[in-house]
């Protein structure tokens, strides 16, 4: 069975279901504003790839497959074709499992949109909270992923030496700071995120680059800020 056509006629969801019903073994290539590939064995999804300017982000675990198909599912134009299987040949997820993960991500996106955070000019942490928070290890991973390593001197340039000491002391008291043996030539300030807020796949492209080089992308050092002179 040869399968090819236009994404304007067949959605990614349609193609997933066709591959499952026909128990197809092969690799589904997607060409459009995003380029990707989905691997199948007997109709089960065994892996996925997303190619960008910095390389290819790929995986065969459930979370990575969901992330990649979430991006590809936004395409409504472009082409697709099925070729010989050149992906993982073992394991695999049912299309129902994959579609369930996509629905969950779309639900989360809806909540983000409703909160006004999706197309905001920027997002920042609240400076004050009304009551104590309890953060689970799973949720803490989101914070650790968001913030890049930083140096004392970079923080001092923003808030002054006293402010930097107080902030880092608080992080240490809470048990959430640890020293890093090596940083790139430039380190980012706490609160600076690698990459601008944009509706693209830069986060996936960074992941592909980091997988290949195992290096943290350097970001620009903040401009020094002069501390105010003491008032007599």
How much is the pTM? 0.67
The domain of 44 spans 4-112
Q: Do 96 and 155 fall within a single domain?
A: no
Q: Do 144 and 216 fall within a single domain?
A: yes
First vs last Cα of the chain: how many Å apart? 85
Q: Do 131 and 154 fall within a single domain?
A: yes
Task: Read off the pLDDT of residues 115-158 as tens digits, 9 standing for 90 and up.
Answer: 998 888 988 888 888 999 898 988 888 888 888 888 888 888 88
Q: Do 195 and 230 fall within a single domain?
A: yes
Q: Do 156 and 62 fall within a single domain?
A: no
Name all contacts of 178-185 with Cβ < 8 Å and 24+ positions apart. Answer: 180/149, 183/149, 183/151, 183/216, 184/215, 184/216, 184/218, 185/218
Task: Give the domain-ending residue among 90, 112, 134.
Answer: 112
Task: Give the domain-ending residue among 53, 79, 112.
Answer: 112
| Number of domains the chain is built from | 2
Task: Give the domain-ending residue among 112, 141, 174.
Answer: 112
- Say whether pLDDT at 114 is over 50: yes
């Amino acid at each position: 069975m040869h399968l090819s056509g236009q994404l304007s006629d067949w959605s990614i969801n349609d193609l997933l279901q066709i591959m499952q019903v026909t128990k197809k073994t092969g690799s589904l290539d997607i060409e459009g504003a995003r380029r990707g590939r989905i691997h199948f064995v007997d109709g089960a999804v065994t892996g996925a790839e997303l190619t960008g300017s910095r390389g290819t982000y790929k995986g065969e675990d459930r979370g990575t497959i969901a992330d990649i198909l979430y991006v590809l599912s936004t395409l409504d134009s472009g082409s697709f074709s099925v070729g010989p299987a050149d992906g993982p040949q073992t394991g695999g997820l049912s299309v129902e499992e994959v579609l369930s993960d996509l629905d969950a991500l779309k639900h989360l996106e809806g909540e983000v949109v409703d909160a006004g955070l999706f197309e905001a000019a920027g997002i920042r942490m609240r400076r004050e909270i009304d009551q104590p928070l309890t953060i689970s290890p799973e949720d803490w991973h989101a914070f650790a992923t968001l913030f890049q390593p930083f140096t004392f001197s970079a923080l001092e340039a923003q808030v002054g030496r006293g402010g930097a000491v107080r902030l880092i002391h608080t992080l240490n008291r809470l048990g959430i700071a640890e020293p890093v043996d090596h940083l790139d030539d430039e380190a980012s300030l706490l609160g600076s995120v690698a990459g601008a807020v944009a509706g693209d796949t830069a986060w996936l492209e960074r992941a592909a680059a980091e997988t290949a080089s195992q290096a943290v992308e350097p970001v620009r050092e903040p401009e020094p800020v002069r501390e105010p002179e003491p008032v007599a």
